[in-house]
Amino acid sequence: MNLVLGALPYFLTAFLISVLFTPIAKRIGFFLGIYAVENQRTVHHGRIVRIGGLAIYIAFIITMAVYVKADTTINAILIGSLILFIGGVIDDMFDLKPMIKLGFEVAAALFVLAFGGIELGTIHLPFLSIDSKAFSYFVSFCWIIGVSNAINLMDGLDGLAAGISFIMISVIGLIGFFMGRRDICVISLILIGAIGGFLPYNFHPASIFMGDCAALFLGYIIACLALLGFKSTAFITLGFPIIILFVPLADTVLAILRRKSQGKKITEADRSHLHHVLMYKMGLSHRNTVLVLYFVTFLFACDAVLMYFHEGWGLALLAVLFGLAWIFIELTGMINPHFHPLIGLLRRTIGHPVKKEDAFFEANKLEYARRPELPPREENEN
Protein backbone atom coordinates (compact mmCIF):
# COMPACT_ATOMS: atom_id res chain seq x y z
CA MET A 1 0.00 0.00 0.00
CA ASN A 2 2.85 2.39 0.76
CA LEU A 3 4.32 1.67 -2.68
CA VAL A 4 0.97 2.41 -4.32
CA LEU A 5 0.50 5.63 -2.39
CA GLY A 6 4.06 6.65 -3.20
CA ALA A 7 3.47 6.06 -6.90
CA LEU A 8 0.14 7.90 -7.14
CA PRO A 9 1.44 11.51 -7.19
CA TYR A 10 3.57 10.89 -10.28
CA PHE A 11 0.74 9.20 -12.15
CA LEU A 12 -2.12 11.44 -11.02
CA THR A 13 -0.34 14.73 -11.65
CA ALA A 14 0.46 13.81 -15.24
CA PHE A 15 -3.00 12.26 -15.69
CA LEU A 16 -4.88 15.37 -14.53
CA ILE A 17 -2.75 17.76 -16.61
CA SER A 18 -3.31 15.58 -19.67
CA VAL A 19 -7.07 15.34 -19.06
CA LEU A 20 -7.37 19.10 -18.68
CA PHE A 21 -5.07 20.06 -21.53
CA THR A 22 -6.40 17.71 -24.22
CA PRO A 23 -9.50 19.89 -24.91
CA ILE A 24 -7.16 22.90 -25.11
CA ALA A 25 -5.01 21.04 -27.64
CA LYS A 26 -8.16 20.37 -29.63
CA ARG A 27 -9.00 24.07 -29.67
CA ILE A 28 -5.46 24.94 -30.73
CA GLY A 29 -5.68 22.39 -33.53
CA PHE A 30 -8.96 23.82 -34.79
CA PHE A 31 -7.59 27.35 -34.61
CA LEU A 32 -4.47 26.44 -36.59
CA GLY A 33 -6.31 24.14 -38.98
CA ILE A 34 -4.29 21.02 -38.09
CA TYR A 35 -6.67 18.26 -39.09
CA ALA A 36 -6.20 14.63 -40.08
CA VAL A 37 -6.12 14.34 -43.88
CA GLU A 38 -8.40 11.79 -45.51
CA ASN A 39 -6.71 9.61 -48.15
CA GLN A 40 -6.90 6.13 -49.67
CA ARG A 41 -5.52 4.55 -46.49
CA THR A 42 -7.78 6.28 -43.98
CA VAL A 43 -11.54 6.15 -43.60
CA HIS A 44 -12.22 8.74 -40.93
CA HIS A 45 -14.65 11.52 -41.74
CA GLY A 46 -14.89 15.11 -40.64
CA ARG A 47 -12.34 17.46 -39.14
CA ILE A 48 -10.39 15.69 -36.40
CA VAL A 49 -7.47 17.52 -34.82
CA ARG A 50 -4.22 15.58 -34.94
CA ILE A 51 -1.99 17.31 -32.39
CA GLY A 52 -3.45 15.66 -29.29
CA GLY A 53 0.09 14.63 -28.50
CA LEU A 54 0.63 18.19 -27.32
CA ALA A 55 -1.34 17.29 -24.16
CA ILE A 56 0.76 14.17 -23.58
CA TYR A 57 4.02 16.02 -24.01
CA ILE A 58 3.08 19.00 -21.81
CA ALA A 59 1.74 16.74 -19.04
CA PHE A 60 4.97 14.73 -19.15
CA ILE A 61 7.32 17.73 -19.14
CA ILE A 62 5.50 19.63 -16.37
CA THR A 63 5.31 16.57 -14.11
CA MET A 64 8.96 15.73 -14.76
CA ALA A 65 9.91 19.30 -13.80
CA VAL A 66 7.93 19.03 -10.56
CA TYR A 67 9.12 15.65 -9.32
CA VAL A 68 12.36 14.64 -11.05
CA LYS A 69 15.79 16.05 -10.32
CA ALA A 70 17.36 15.88 -13.74
CA ASP A 71 20.92 14.76 -14.30
CA THR A 72 22.93 14.81 -17.50
CA THR A 73 21.27 11.66 -18.82
CA ILE A 74 17.71 12.80 -18.07
CA ASN A 75 18.40 16.23 -19.60
CA ALA A 76 19.75 14.59 -22.76
CA ILE A 77 16.65 12.42 -23.04
CA LEU A 78 14.36 15.43 -22.56
CA ILE A 79 16.19 17.59 -25.10
CA GLY A 80 16.25 14.72 -27.59
CA SER A 81 12.53 14.20 -27.07
CA LEU A 82 11.93 17.91 -27.67
CA ILE A 83 13.78 17.71 -30.99
CA LEU A 84 11.63 14.80 -32.10
CA PHE A 85 8.43 16.33 -30.75
CA ILE A 86 9.04 19.54 -32.70
CA GLY A 87 9.71 17.51 -35.83
CA GLY A 88 6.46 15.62 -35.25
CA VAL A 89 4.46 18.83 -34.79
CA ILE A 90 5.87 20.26 -38.02
CA ASP A 91 5.01 17.00 -39.78
CA ASP A 92 1.46 17.11 -38.41
CA MET A 93 1.11 20.65 -39.74
CA PHE A 94 2.80 20.37 -43.14
CA ASP A 95 3.30 16.64 -43.91
CA LEU A 96 7.08 16.55 -44.13
CA LYS A 97 8.86 14.37 -46.65
CA PRO A 98 10.06 11.08 -45.10
CA MET A 99 13.74 12.01 -45.34
CA ILE A 100 13.20 15.32 -43.55
CA LYS A 101 11.27 13.59 -40.77
CA LEU A 102 14.06 11.01 -40.56
CA GLY A 103 16.48 13.91 -40.11
CA PHE A 104 14.72 14.91 -36.88
CA GLU A 105 14.84 11.30 -35.68
CA VAL A 106 18.56 11.06 -36.44
CA ALA A 107 19.25 14.35 -34.65
CA ALA A 108 17.35 13.23 -31.53
CA ALA A 109 19.09 9.85 -31.47
CA LEU A 110 22.56 11.32 -31.98
CA PHE A 111 21.99 13.91 -29.26
CA VAL A 112 21.03 11.43 -26.56
CA LEU A 113 23.85 9.07 -27.53
CA ALA A 114 26.41 11.87 -27.53
CA PHE A 115 25.36 13.67 -24.34
CA GLY A 116 23.25 11.17 -22.38
CA GLY A 117 25.61 8.24 -22.16
CA ILE A 118 22.81 5.88 -23.19
CA GLU A 119 24.02 2.85 -25.13
CA LEU A 120 24.12 -0.92 -24.87
CA GLY A 121 27.66 -1.27 -23.57
CA THR A 122 29.43 -4.61 -23.66
CA ILE A 123 27.26 -7.42 -25.04
CA HIS A 124 27.92 -10.85 -23.56
CA LEU A 125 26.80 -13.72 -25.78
CA PRO A 126 27.23 -17.45 -24.93
CA PHE A 127 30.40 -17.79 -27.04
CA LEU A 128 31.32 -14.18 -27.65
CA SER A 129 31.63 -10.84 -25.89
CA ILE A 130 31.35 -7.74 -28.04
CA ASP A 131 33.15 -4.88 -26.33
CA SER A 132 33.09 -2.30 -29.10
CA LYS A 133 31.93 1.27 -28.53
CA ALA A 134 31.33 1.73 -32.24
CA PHE A 135 29.13 -1.37 -32.42
CA SER A 136 27.28 -0.44 -29.24
CA TYR A 137 26.49 3.07 -30.46
CA PHE A 138 25.47 1.81 -33.89
CA VAL A 139 23.00 -0.74 -32.46
CA SER A 140 21.68 1.84 -29.98
CA PHE A 141 21.21 4.38 -32.77
CA CYS A 142 19.30 1.87 -34.92
CA TRP A 143 17.23 0.86 -31.88
CA ILE A 144 16.09 4.42 -31.14
CA ILE A 145 15.21 5.11 -34.79
CA GLY A 146 13.47 1.76 -35.18
CA VAL A 147 11.32 1.94 -32.05
CA SER A 148 10.35 5.57 -32.74
CA ASN A 149 9.07 4.58 -36.18
CA ALA A 150 7.48 1.36 -34.91
CA ILE A 151 5.15 3.25 -32.57
CA ASN A 152 4.42 5.76 -35.33
CA LEU A 153 3.44 2.97 -37.75
CA MET A 154 1.05 1.53 -35.16
CA ASP A 155 -0.83 4.82 -34.99
CA GLY A 156 -3.48 3.69 -37.46
CA LEU A 157 -6.61 3.22 -35.35
CA ASP A 158 -8.26 5.16 -32.55
CA GLY A 159 -6.40 4.57 -29.30
CA LEU A 160 -4.09 1.91 -30.75
CA ALA A 161 -0.65 3.52 -30.40
CA ALA A 162 -1.56 5.24 -27.13
CA GLY A 163 -2.95 2.07 -25.54
CA ILE A 164 -0.09 -0.16 -26.67
CA SER A 165 2.41 2.42 -25.44
CA PHE A 166 0.59 2.50 -22.09
CA ILE A 167 0.94 -1.28 -21.71
CA MET A 168 4.59 -1.36 -22.80
CA ILE A 169 5.69 1.51 -20.57
CA SER A 170 3.81 0.01 -17.60
CA VAL A 171 5.76 -3.24 -18.00
CA ILE A 172 9.07 -1.40 -18.45
CA GLY A 173 8.34 0.46 -15.22
CA LEU A 174 7.36 -2.77 -13.43
CA ILE A 175 10.54 -4.56 -14.48
CA GLY A 176 12.49 -1.43 -13.53
CA PHE A 177 10.94 -1.73 -10.05
CA PHE A 178 12.02 -5.37 -9.78
CA MET A 179 15.54 -4.34 -10.83
CA GLY A 180 15.65 -1.56 -8.23
CA ARG A 181 15.66 1.25 -10.81
CA ARG A 182 13.66 4.05 -9.19
CA ASP A 183 14.36 6.44 -12.09
CA ILE A 184 12.79 4.03 -14.59
CA CYS A 185 9.76 3.60 -12.33
CA VAL A 186 9.16 7.32 -11.87
CA ILE A 187 9.55 8.22 -15.56
CA SER A 188 7.27 5.33 -16.52
CA LEU A 189 4.59 6.37 -14.01
CA ILE A 190 4.64 9.94 -15.28
CA LEU A 191 4.41 8.84 -18.90
CA ILE A 192 1.55 6.37 -18.42
CA GLY A 193 -0.27 9.08 -16.47
CA ALA A 194 0.10 11.47 -19.41
CA ILE A 195 -1.09 8.79 -21.85
CA GLY A 196 -3.92 7.72 -19.55
CA GLY A 197 -5.34 11.23 -19.39
CA PHE A 198 -5.37 11.48 -23.20
CA LEU A 199 -6.64 7.98 -24.01
CA PRO A 200 -10.35 8.57 -23.17
CA TYR A 201 -10.46 11.28 -25.85
CA ASN A 202 -8.57 9.10 -28.32
CA PHE A 203 -10.34 5.76 -27.90
CA HIS A 204 -12.89 4.84 -30.59
CA PRO A 205 -14.71 6.92 -31.65
CA ALA A 206 -11.85 9.38 -31.25
CA SER A 207 -12.50 13.09 -30.91
CA ILE A 208 -8.79 13.88 -31.31
CA PHE A 209 -5.74 12.10 -32.74
CA MET A 210 -2.33 12.13 -31.08
CA GLY A 211 -0.46 12.69 -34.35
CA ASP A 212 3.17 12.06 -35.25
CA CYS A 213 4.30 14.48 -32.53
CA ALA A 214 3.20 12.05 -29.82
CA ALA A 215 3.80 8.78 -31.69
CA LEU A 216 7.45 9.65 -32.38
CA PHE A 217 7.90 11.11 -28.89
CA LEU A 218 6.50 8.00 -27.19
CA GLY A 219 8.57 5.66 -29.34
CA TYR A 220 11.69 7.67 -28.56
CA ILE A 221 11.11 7.65 -24.79
CA ILE A 222 10.33 3.91 -24.82
CA ALA A 223 13.57 3.23 -26.71
CA CYS A 224 15.59 5.36 -24.27
CA LEU A 225 14.00 3.75 -21.21
CA ALA A 226 14.86 0.31 -22.57
CA LEU A 227 18.49 1.29 -23.12
CA LEU A 228 18.62 3.02 -19.75
CA GLY A 229 17.12 0.20 -17.73
CA PHE A 230 17.91 -3.22 -19.17
CA LYS A 231 21.69 -3.50 -18.85
CA SER A 232 22.63 -6.91 -17.60
CA THR A 233 23.05 -10.05 -19.67
CA ALA A 234 22.86 -9.79 -23.45
CA PHE A 235 19.45 -11.42 -23.33
CA ILE A 236 18.03 -8.90 -20.85
CA THR A 237 19.65 -5.95 -22.63
CA LEU A 238 18.35 -6.92 -26.06
CA GLY A 239 15.67 -9.50 -25.40
CA PHE A 240 13.37 -7.83 -22.87
CA PRO A 241 12.68 -4.69 -24.92
CA ILE A 242 12.10 -6.75 -28.09
CA ILE A 243 9.60 -9.01 -26.30
CA ILE A 244 7.74 -6.09 -24.76
CA LEU A 245 7.68 -4.22 -28.08
CA PHE A 246 6.93 -7.32 -30.18
CA VAL A 247 3.72 -6.04 -31.78
CA PRO A 248 4.99 -2.68 -33.13
CA LEU A 249 8.43 -4.06 -34.02
CA ALA A 250 6.98 -7.07 -35.85
CA ASP A 251 4.56 -4.84 -37.74
CA THR A 252 7.46 -2.60 -38.81
CA VAL A 253 9.66 -5.50 -39.99
CA LEU A 254 6.75 -7.07 -41.87
CA ALA A 255 5.97 -3.75 -43.56
CA ILE A 256 9.58 -3.49 -44.78
CA LEU A 257 9.62 -7.09 -46.06
CA ARG A 258 6.21 -6.72 -47.70
CA ARG A 259 7.10 -3.52 -49.54
CA LYS A 260 10.47 -4.85 -50.67
CA SER A 261 8.85 -8.05 -51.99
CA GLN A 262 6.40 -5.91 -53.96
CA GLY A 263 9.10 -3.64 -55.35
CA LYS A 264 7.92 -0.62 -53.36
CA LYS A 265 9.87 1.90 -51.31
CA ILE A 266 9.95 1.05 -47.62
CA THR A 267 8.58 4.54 -46.87
CA GLU A 268 5.60 3.98 -49.18
CA ALA A 269 2.48 3.63 -47.06
CA ASP A 270 0.05 0.75 -47.56
CA ARG A 271 -3.05 -0.76 -46.03
CA SER A 272 -1.61 -4.08 -44.95
CA HIS A 273 -0.48 -3.33 -41.41
CA LEU A 274 -1.55 -5.66 -38.64
CA HIS A 275 -4.55 -3.55 -37.68
CA HIS A 276 -5.65 -3.39 -41.34
CA VAL A 277 -5.44 -7.19 -41.60
CA LEU A 278 -7.60 -7.66 -38.52
CA MET A 279 -10.20 -5.20 -39.77
CA TYR A 280 -10.37 -5.84 -43.50
CA LYS A 281 -9.35 -9.50 -43.76
CA MET A 282 -10.63 -10.83 -40.44
CA GLY A 283 -13.70 -8.60 -40.36
CA LEU A 284 -13.23 -7.28 -36.82
CA SER A 285 -14.76 -3.97 -35.83
CA HIS A 286 -12.60 -0.94 -35.17
CA ARG A 287 -12.95 -1.25 -31.40
CA ASN A 288 -12.42 -5.03 -31.32
CA THR A 289 -9.31 -4.76 -33.50
CA VAL A 290 -7.76 -2.37 -30.99
CA LEU A 291 -8.75 -4.57 -28.05
CA VAL A 292 -7.24 -7.66 -29.72
CA LEU A 293 -3.94 -5.84 -30.26
CA TYR A 294 -4.02 -4.64 -26.64
CA PHE A 295 -4.45 -8.27 -25.56
CA VAL A 296 -1.61 -9.55 -27.75
CA THR A 297 0.69 -6.80 -26.45
CA PHE A 298 -0.34 -7.71 -22.90
CA LEU A 299 0.53 -11.40 -23.51
CA PHE A 300 4.04 -10.56 -24.71
CA ALA A 301 4.44 -8.09 -21.84
CA CYS A 302 3.46 -10.80 -19.34
CA ASP A 303 5.99 -13.12 -20.96
CA ALA A 304 8.72 -10.54 -20.36
CA VAL A 305 7.77 -10.36 -16.67
CA LEU A 306 7.64 -14.17 -16.43
CA MET A 307 11.05 -14.43 -18.08
CA TYR A 308 12.53 -12.06 -15.51
CA PHE A 309 11.61 -14.50 -12.73
CA HIS A 310 11.98 -17.80 -14.62
CA GLU A 311 13.86 -17.71 -17.92
CA GLY A 312 12.94 -21.27 -18.89
CA TRP A 313 9.18 -20.83 -18.57
CA GLY A 314 9.46 -17.44 -20.23
CA LEU A 315 11.27 -18.90 -23.24
CA ALA A 316 8.69 -21.70 -23.51
CA LEU A 317 5.80 -19.22 -23.55
CA LEU A 318 7.69 -17.02 -26.01
CA ALA A 319 8.14 -19.96 -28.39
CA VAL A 320 4.39 -20.65 -28.28
CA LEU A 321 3.47 -17.00 -28.82
CA PHE A 322 5.98 -16.60 -31.64
CA GLY A 323 4.76 -19.78 -33.34
CA LEU A 324 1.15 -18.63 -33.24
CA ALA A 325 2.16 -15.20 -34.53
CA TRP A 326 4.10 -16.73 -37.43
CA ILE A 327 1.18 -18.96 -38.46
CA PHE A 328 -1.07 -15.90 -38.44
CA ILE A 329 1.42 -13.98 -40.60
CA GLU A 330 1.49 -16.79 -43.18
CA LEU A 331 -2.27 -17.38 -43.18
CA THR A 332 -3.08 -13.73 -43.77
CA GLY A 333 -0.33 -13.11 -46.34
CA MET A 334 1.11 -10.16 -44.43
CA ILE A 335 4.45 -10.50 -46.23
CA ASN A 336 3.21 -11.98 -49.50
CA PRO A 337 0.19 -14.20 -50.32
CA HIS A 338 2.57 -16.80 -51.76
CA PHE A 339 5.00 -16.77 -48.81
CA HIS A 340 3.96 -19.51 -46.38
CA PRO A 341 6.84 -21.96 -45.82
CA LEU A 342 5.45 -23.44 -42.59
CA ILE A 343 1.98 -23.99 -44.02
CA GLY A 344 3.56 -25.42 -47.18
CA LEU A 345 5.53 -27.86 -45.02
CA LEU A 346 2.36 -28.93 -43.23
CA ARG A 347 0.63 -29.54 -46.58
CA ARG A 348 3.50 -31.71 -47.78
CA THR A 349 3.69 -33.73 -44.55
CA ILE A 350 0.14 -34.08 -43.23
CA GLY A 351 -1.93 -32.78 -46.16
CA HIS A 352 -3.49 -29.87 -44.28
CA PRO A 353 -4.61 -27.15 -44.51
CA VAL A 354 -6.15 -27.86 -47.90
CA LYS A 355 -6.38 -25.10 -50.51
CA LYS A 356 -9.93 -24.07 -51.41
CA GLU A 357 -11.43 -21.51 -53.73
CA ASP A 358 -13.51 -20.02 -50.92
CA ALA A 359 -10.90 -20.37 -48.17
CA PHE A 360 -11.01 -17.67 -45.49
CA PHE A 361 -7.26 -17.05 -45.38
CA GLU A 362 -5.14 -15.97 -48.33
CA ALA A 363 -2.57 -18.73 -47.82
CA ASN A 364 -5.33 -21.31 -48.41
CA LYS A 365 -6.74 -19.71 -51.58
CA LEU A 366 -6.49 -21.60 -54.85
CA GLU A 367 -6.17 -18.43 -56.88
CA TYR A 368 -5.24 -15.14 -55.23
CA ALA A 369 -5.82 -13.08 -58.35
CA ARG A 370 -9.53 -13.89 -58.34
CA ARG A 371 -10.02 -12.35 -54.96
CA PRO A 372 -11.92 -9.04 -55.30
CA GLU A 373 -10.72 -5.89 -53.64
CA LEU A 374 -12.34 -5.26 -50.30
CA PRO A 375 -14.45 -2.11 -50.10
CA PRO A 376 -13.49 0.65 -47.67
CA ARG A 377 -14.91 0.31 -44.21
CA GLU A 378 -16.99 3.10 -42.76
CA GLU A 379 -14.80 3.54 -39.74
CA ASN A 380 -13.11 6.46 -38.06
CA GLU A 381 -9.40 5.76 -38.53
CA ASN A 382 -6.37 7.97 -38.10
The predicted pLDDT at position 376 comes to 43
Burial pattern 318-350, b for ≥16 Cβ within 10 A else e, equals beebeeebebbbbbbbbbebebbeebeeebeee
Q: Describe the crossing of helices 211-229 and 160-178 by its angle, rounded to 10 degrees.
A: 20
The predicted pLDDT at position 39 comes to 55
The predicted pLDDT at position 346 comes to 83
Asked if 335 contacts 258 with a C-beta cutoff of 8 angstroms, the reply is yes
Query: pLDDT (tens digit, 9 = 90+) per residue, 214-245?
Result: 999 999 999 999 888 765 544 555 667 788 88
Weakly modelled stretches of the chain, pLDDT under 50: 43, 233-234, 369, 371, 373-382
The predicted pLDDT at position 129 comes to 60
Rounded CA separation 95/269 (Å): 13
The predicted pLDDT at position 355 comes to 81
The predicted pLDDT at position 351 comes to 81
Domain positions in the chain? 2-259
The predicted pLDDT at position 37 comes to 66
Rounded CA separation 91/213 (Å): 8
Query: pLDDT (tens digit, 9 = 90+) per residue, 39-49?
Result: 555 545 668 89
DSSP structure string for 21-32: HHHHHHHHHHHH
The predicted pLDDT at position 270 comes to 72
The predicted pLDDT at position 378 comes to 41
Q: What φ, ψ does residue 100 adopt, rounded to 5°?
A: -70, -45
